[in-house]
Amino acid sequence: MAKKALLALVSVFIAWSILDFLLHGVLLQPIYSATSALWRPIDQ
């Protein structure tokens, strides 16, 4: 039972990471770049 729960947890983490990369790293990256003047500088 614990093995099954651990496998489910790892699977969700991997799926979440892949979807996060696809959404923010690929799909939204042009929007982030176009609106970079609206974002705070990294050093703040």
Q: pLDDT tens-digit profile of 6-28?
A: 999 999 999 999 999 999 999 99
User: What is the pTM (predicted TM-score) of this model?
Assistant: 0.71
What is the pLDDT, as a whole number, of residue 22? Answer: 97
Task: Provide DSSP, the chain.
Answer: -HHHHHHHHHHHHHHHHHHHIIIIIIISHHHHHHTGGGSPPTT-
Residue 1 has pLDDT above 90, yes or no: no
